[in-house]
Structure 1
Amino acid sequence: MGLRKTSPEDLNVQACIEKGMKVGKTCHGLAASTIDYAHCWLIEIGDNVTFAPQTYLLAHDASTKRYLNYTKISKIKIEDNAFIGARALIMPGVTVGKNAIVAAGSIVTKSVPAGYVVGGNPAKEIAKTEEYINRHKANMDNAPVYDYQWTIGGNITPDMCNQMSKELDDAIGYVK
């Protein structure tokens, strides 16, 4: 029996798991996905989850960085038996419920209830930039806020990854 060569994609998944990403049993297709390595410890994947090719898991949103000097971060949770279609984008703060299906090409900005099928791009006008930034400034008063040491570049420790993960279990936070 020959040895299987480890692909760069498998190494990426393994690196994310080593950094704190949680992945359940019999997860399929994750190696063909793009995973937000910079905040991978904020990603939790249940059992029997299937990822079609080129899905994207993004636990951060840098749209606030220029204005606040902080990037918005939040957990992504994909629960048991979910299916994520090809080229779907799962944004920070989203939970995909048990037995849910996300159609290919979808941009998921809100949580998906268990047992539902969702699809499409919900991109629409939300607010003016100033209103958006002011809302996040106000949110930062009551949200977890992390400085640079809470990043990979700042040499975040495993204990800090675990602490951030717990603090952002049901919240949105901000990191420098």
Structure 2
Amino acid sequence: MLKIIKNYFRARFKKILLEEIWLEDLVRTGMRIGDNCSIQPGVIFDYSHCWLIRIGDNVTIAPEAYLLAHDASTKMLNGWTKISSINIEDNVFIGARALIMPGVTIGKNTIVAAGSIVTKSIPENSVVAGNPARIISTLEEYKVKINKQFNDSTANVYDNNYTIKGNVSDNDKNEMYEQLKNKIGFVK
């Protein structure tokens, strides 16, 4: 139990010192972040050109995503590093370990799937995935698909007690795991 408590406080201390203060430093250096954004631990912003990064309102960036405003591969070719802005518009979700390259604008109401490499601008109301990222559907088509899955009578739906912040028991965790083998569920 003592080890769990120690690890909890170590993680919180690390988050406060390394993540939140660092994000504030980026903003002081010129990066812009809108209101109501959720930037998860481990997101990497191009510190050397962070003022070229603009993030709109209601944006979620999942863990270990990478926003890169420069491309130093050009330096060996002509002695110069290529740089460009990154613009993340309002109501965007960027999945874990996605890579956003220089010169990219991600339009409003867009989902970037985990692991995607975004090398070109994405129009609003899109869902993109892959390497390089390609549009796989409109946001509306994706919404219809997800709502159909959610409303399926066999879908497993869990309240917020089934999250790390909830009071989920070990028995409930095991039951949830078994219920979701090779199946999608939803949690509040």
Partner of 1:107: 117
Aligned with 2:29 (options 19, 22, 34)? 19
CA contact (8 A) 1:106 1:120 kept: yes
The CA distance in 1 between the partners of 2:23 and 2:59, in whole Å, is: 14
More helix by share: 2
My pick for the range that moved more, 5-14 or 106-115, is: 5-14
CA contact (8 A) 2:41 2:64 kept: no
CA contact (8 A) 1:98 1:114 kept: yes
The CA distance in 2 between the partners of 1:41 and 1:14, in whole Å, is: 13
Are residues 1:33 and 2:43 paired?
yes
Consecutive unaligned residues of structure 2, counting only runs of 5 or more, are: 1-11, 134-188
TM (norm. structure 2) is 0.61
Partner of 1:86: 96
Q: Which amino acid aligns with 1:91?
A: M
Are residues 1:49 and 2:59 paired?
yes
Q: Which amino acid aligns with 2:36?
A: T
Cα displacement string for residues 36-75 of structure 1 (whole angstroms, at most 9, x for unaligned residues): 0000000000000001110000000001101211100000
The CA distance in 1 between the partners of 2:30 and 2:114, in whole Å, is: 27
CA contact (8 A) 1:16 1:37 kept: yes
The CA distance in 2 between the partners of 1:122 and 1:16, in whole Å, is: 27
- The 5-angstrom pairing of residues 62-77 of structure 1 reads 62-77=72-87
Cα displacement string for residues 122-170 of structure 1 (whole angstroms, at most 9, x for unaligned residues): 29xxxxxxxxxxxxxxxxxxxxxxxxxxxxxxxxxxxxxxxxxxxxxxx
Residue 119 of structure 1 aligns to a residue whose secondary structure is: strand
Cα displacement string for residues 8-31 of structure 1 (whole angstroms, at most 9, x for unaligned residues): 011221111010000000110254
The CA distance in 2 between the partners of 1:110 and 1:30, in whole Å, is: 24
Between the two proteins, what is the percent identity of the paired residues? 62
Residue 83 of structure 2 aligns to a residue whose secondary structure is: strand
Are residues 1:7 and 2:17 paired?
yes
TM (norm. structure 1) is 0.65
Which one scores higher on RCO, CA 8 angstroms, separation ≥ 6? Answer: 1
Partner of 1:118: 128
RMSD value over aligned CA atoms? 1.5
Q: Which amino acid aligns with 1:20?
A: G
Residue 32 of structure 1 aligns to a residue whose secondary structure is: coil
The CA distance in 2 between the partners of 1:30 and 1:69, in whole Å, is: 35
Consecutive unaligned residues of structure 1, counting only runs of 5 or more, are: 124-176
Residue 21 of structure 2 aligns to a residue whose secondary structure is: helix
